[in-house]
Amino acid sequence: MRLADELFLVGHDDFTGKPLSAGRIFDTALAGAALAELLLDGRLGVDNGTVFALDGQPRNEALTDLLLSEIIRRGDGHSARLWLAFVRDEMQIRERVGNRLASAGWVRRVESRGLTLRTSVRWPGVNPNQVAAPRVRLGASLQQTQRPLDTTTATLAALIRAGNLVGVLTLVDRSVADRIVTARQSLPGSLQQLLAAVDAAAAGTAVQVRR
Protein backbone atom coordinates (compact mmCIF):
# COMPACT_ATOMS: atom_id res chain seq x y z
CA MET A 1 0.00 0.00 0.00
CA ARG A 2 1.21 3.50 -0.84
CA LEU A 3 2.27 5.90 1.92
CA ALA A 4 -0.53 8.42 1.36
CA ASP A 5 -3.09 5.60 1.30
CA GLU A 6 -1.98 4.40 4.74
CA LEU A 7 -2.06 7.92 6.15
CA PHE A 8 -5.53 8.45 4.67
CA LEU A 9 -6.89 5.29 6.32
CA VAL A 10 -5.37 6.18 9.70
CA GLY A 11 -6.91 9.64 9.40
CA HIS A 12 -10.51 8.46 8.90
CA ASP A 13 -12.88 6.47 11.09
CA ASP A 14 -13.02 2.86 9.90
CA PHE A 15 -16.84 2.68 10.02
CA THR A 16 -18.17 6.19 9.43
CA GLY A 17 -15.38 7.45 7.20
CA LYS A 18 -15.33 10.78 9.04
CA PRO A 19 -11.95 12.56 9.41
CA LEU A 20 -10.19 12.21 12.74
CA SER A 21 -8.14 15.39 12.50
CA ALA A 22 -8.78 19.01 11.52
CA GLY A 23 -9.24 19.15 7.77
CA ARG A 24 -6.48 21.46 6.56
CA ILE A 25 -3.93 20.12 9.04
CA PHE A 26 -4.60 16.56 7.89
CA ASP A 27 -4.62 17.59 4.23
CA THR A 28 -1.22 19.22 4.72
CA ALA A 29 0.18 15.97 6.10
CA LEU A 30 -1.47 14.06 3.26
CA ALA A 31 0.16 16.39 0.72
CA GLY A 32 3.45 15.64 2.44
CA ALA A 33 2.78 11.93 2.06
CA ALA A 34 2.20 12.31 -1.69
CA LEU A 35 5.50 14.16 -2.09
CA ALA A 36 7.22 11.63 0.16
CA GLU A 37 6.06 8.83 -2.13
CA LEU A 38 8.09 10.45 -4.91
CA LEU A 39 11.12 10.82 -2.65
CA LEU A 40 10.90 7.19 -1.54
CA ASP A 41 10.65 6.12 -5.19
CA GLY A 42 13.80 8.08 -6.03
CA ARG A 43 11.90 10.38 -8.39
CA LEU A 44 12.17 13.60 -6.39
CA GLY A 45 14.71 15.38 -4.22
CA VAL A 46 14.68 18.20 -1.68
CA ASP A 47 17.75 20.37 -1.07
CA ASN A 48 17.88 23.55 1.01
CA GLY A 49 14.11 23.39 1.28
CA THR A 50 13.53 23.40 -2.49
CA VAL A 51 12.08 20.60 -4.61
CA PHE A 52 13.58 19.20 -7.81
CA ALA A 53 12.80 16.27 -10.10
CA LEU A 54 15.21 13.34 -10.40
CA ASP A 55 13.36 10.92 -12.66
CA GLY A 56 10.57 12.11 -14.92
CA GLN A 57 9.63 8.73 -16.36
CA PRO A 58 6.00 7.76 -15.63
CA ARG A 59 5.50 4.71 -13.41
CA ASN A 60 1.86 3.95 -14.27
CA GLU A 61 0.69 5.38 -10.92
CA ALA A 62 -1.77 8.13 -11.74
CA LEU A 63 -1.42 10.36 -8.68
CA THR A 64 2.37 10.48 -8.38
CA ASP A 65 2.81 10.63 -12.15
CA LEU A 66 0.52 13.66 -12.27
CA LEU A 67 2.26 15.35 -9.35
CA LEU A 68 5.72 14.80 -10.82
CA SER A 69 4.62 16.08 -14.22
CA GLU A 70 3.41 19.29 -12.53
CA ILE A 71 6.75 19.70 -10.75
CA ILE A 72 8.65 19.21 -14.01
CA ARG A 73 6.34 21.55 -15.92
CA ARG A 74 6.68 24.34 -13.38
CA GLY A 75 10.45 23.89 -13.03
CA ASP A 76 12.85 23.21 -10.19
CA GLY A 77 13.60 25.62 -7.39
CA HIS A 78 10.19 26.06 -5.76
CA SER A 79 10.01 25.52 -2.02
CA ALA A 80 8.67 22.35 -0.45
CA ARG A 81 6.17 24.43 1.50
CA LEU A 82 4.85 25.99 -1.71
CA TRP A 83 4.38 22.52 -3.21
CA LEU A 84 2.60 21.32 -0.10
CA ALA A 85 0.06 24.12 -0.46
CA PHE A 86 -0.36 23.36 -4.17
CA VAL A 87 -0.91 19.64 -3.61
CA ARG A 88 -3.27 20.26 -0.69
CA ASP A 89 -5.41 22.97 -2.29
CA GLU A 90 -5.04 22.94 -6.07
CA MET A 91 -4.74 19.18 -6.50
CA GLN A 92 -7.32 18.51 -3.74
CA ILE A 93 -5.16 15.74 -2.38
CA ARG A 94 -7.74 14.20 -0.04
CA GLU A 95 -10.17 13.66 -2.91
CA ARG A 96 -7.44 12.15 -5.11
CA VAL A 97 -6.14 9.75 -2.48
CA GLY A 98 -9.68 8.83 -1.44
CA ASN A 99 -10.58 8.04 -5.03
CA ARG A 100 -7.40 5.97 -5.42
CA LEU A 101 -8.45 3.89 -2.43
CA ALA A 102 -12.05 3.70 -3.64
CA SER A 103 -10.87 2.41 -7.03
CA ALA A 104 -8.86 -0.25 -5.22
CA GLY A 105 -11.93 -1.33 -3.21
CA TRP A 106 -10.76 -0.12 0.22
CA VAL A 107 -13.28 2.67 0.89
CA ARG A 108 -16.53 4.14 -0.45
CA ARG A 109 -17.11 7.79 -1.25
CA VAL A 110 -20.30 9.02 0.46
CA GLU A 111 -21.68 12.53 0.00
CA SER A 112 -24.23 14.11 2.32
CA ARG A 113 -25.75 17.53 2.98
CA GLY A 114 -26.50 19.06 6.34
CA LEU A 115 -28.99 21.74 7.32
CA THR A 116 -26.72 24.40 5.81
CA LEU A 117 -26.85 22.52 2.48
CA ARG A 118 -23.08 22.25 2.59
CA THR A 119 -21.87 19.01 1.03
CA SER A 120 -19.59 16.83 3.13
CA VAL A 121 -17.74 13.73 2.01
CA ARG A 122 -17.06 10.63 4.09
CA TRP A 123 -14.91 7.62 3.22
CA PRO A 124 -16.17 4.58 5.18
CA GLY A 125 -14.21 1.38 4.83
CA VAL A 126 -15.62 -1.37 2.64
CA ASN A 127 -14.20 -3.79 5.22
CA PRO A 128 -13.63 -1.90 8.50
CA ASN A 129 -11.25 -4.56 9.82
CA GLN A 130 -9.16 -4.30 6.68
CA VAL A 131 -8.90 -0.51 6.67
CA ALA A 132 -7.82 -0.59 10.34
CA ALA A 133 -4.73 -2.62 9.42
CA PRO A 134 -2.33 0.33 8.80
CA ARG A 135 -3.19 1.91 12.16
CA VAL A 136 -2.82 -1.37 14.05
CA ARG A 137 0.42 -2.24 12.25
CA LEU A 138 1.99 1.14 12.93
CA GLY A 139 0.91 1.14 16.56
CA ALA A 140 2.46 -2.30 17.04
CA SER A 141 5.69 -1.27 15.27
CA LEU A 142 6.05 1.78 17.49
CA GLN A 143 5.64 -0.38 20.59
CA GLN A 144 8.47 -2.71 19.53
CA THR A 145 11.25 -0.45 20.74
CA GLN A 146 13.93 -3.08 20.15
CA ARG A 147 13.39 -2.97 16.39
CA PRO A 148 14.34 0.07 14.31
CA LEU A 149 11.65 1.43 12.04
CA ASP A 150 12.21 1.16 8.30
CA THR A 151 12.28 4.38 6.28
CA THR A 152 8.68 4.19 5.04
CA THR A 153 7.25 3.40 8.48
CA ALA A 154 9.28 6.16 10.14
CA THR A 155 8.06 8.64 7.51
CA LEU A 156 4.45 7.56 8.03
CA ALA A 157 4.82 7.95 11.79
CA ALA A 158 6.24 11.46 11.38
CA LEU A 159 3.37 12.46 9.08
CA ILE A 160 0.83 11.08 11.54
CA ARG A 161 2.41 13.23 14.23
CA ALA A 162 2.29 16.28 11.93
CA GLY A 163 -1.39 15.57 11.23
CA ASN A 164 -2.28 15.40 14.97
CA LEU A 165 -3.18 11.73 14.69
CA VAL A 166 -0.87 10.08 17.23
CA GLY A 167 -3.79 9.72 19.62
CA VAL A 168 -5.71 7.42 17.26
CA LEU A 169 -2.96 4.79 17.17
CA THR A 170 -3.53 1.68 19.26
CA LEU A 171 -1.57 1.17 22.48
CA VAL A 172 -0.11 4.67 22.44
CA ASP A 173 1.88 6.02 25.38
CA ARG A 174 4.47 8.75 25.85
CA SER A 175 7.33 6.48 24.75
CA VAL A 176 5.65 6.04 21.36
CA ALA A 177 5.60 9.80 20.72
CA ASP A 178 9.27 9.96 21.71
CA ARG A 179 10.10 7.09 19.39
CA ILE A 180 8.53 8.88 16.43
CA VAL A 181 10.86 11.82 17.03
CA THR A 182 13.89 9.53 17.34
CA ALA A 183 13.02 7.53 14.21
CA ARG A 184 12.59 10.71 12.21
CA GLN A 185 16.13 11.79 13.05
CA SER A 186 17.50 8.72 11.25
CA LEU A 187 15.72 9.50 7.97
CA PRO A 188 17.59 10.72 4.87
CA GLY A 189 18.13 14.47 4.72
CA SER A 190 15.68 15.04 1.88
CA LEU A 191 12.87 13.41 3.83
CA GLN A 192 13.77 15.34 6.97
CA GLN A 193 13.59 18.60 5.01
CA LEU A 194 10.20 17.67 3.56
CA LEU A 195 8.88 16.76 7.01
CA ALA A 196 10.16 20.05 8.42
CA ALA A 197 8.17 21.84 5.70
CA VAL A 198 5.09 19.76 6.57
CA ASP A 199 5.45 20.71 10.25
CA ALA A 200 5.78 24.40 9.39
CA ALA A 201 2.83 24.35 6.99
CA ALA A 202 0.64 22.43 9.45
CA ALA A 203 1.57 24.84 12.26
CA GLY A 204 0.64 27.78 10.03
CA THR A 205 -2.66 26.12 9.23
CA ALA A 206 -3.37 25.55 12.92
CA VAL A 207 -2.85 29.25 13.62
CA GLN A 208 -5.32 30.12 10.85
CA VAL A 209 -7.87 27.67 12.27
CA ARG A 210 -7.61 29.15 15.78
CA ARG A 211 -8.17 32.65 14.39
What are the C-alpha distances in Å from 51 to residues 3, 70, 71? 19, 12, 8
Q: Residues 125-141: pLDDT tens digits? A: 999 999 999 999 998 88
Count the alpha carbons within 13 Å of 130 in the hemisphere toward its beta carbon: 11
Residue from 210, 119, 165, 202 nearest 20 by CA: 165
Q: Residues 8-22: pLDDT tens digits? A: 999 999 999 999 998
CATH topology for the 3-204 domain: yeast vps74-n-term truncation variant fold (1.10.3630)
Q: Which helix (H) or strand (E) holds 122?
A: strand 119-122
The ranges assigned to domains in the chain are 3-204
Residue from 183, 184, 204 nearest 194 by CA: 184
Report DSSP state, residue 2.
-
User: What pLDDT score does 176 carry?
Assistant: 79
User: What pLDDT score does 123 carry?
Assistant: 96
Those residues of the chain that have pLDDT short of 70 are 114-117, 170-174, 206-211
User: What pLDDT score does 211 carry?
Assistant: 40
User: What pLDDT score does 116 carry?
Assistant: 63
Paired with 78 in beta bridges are 51
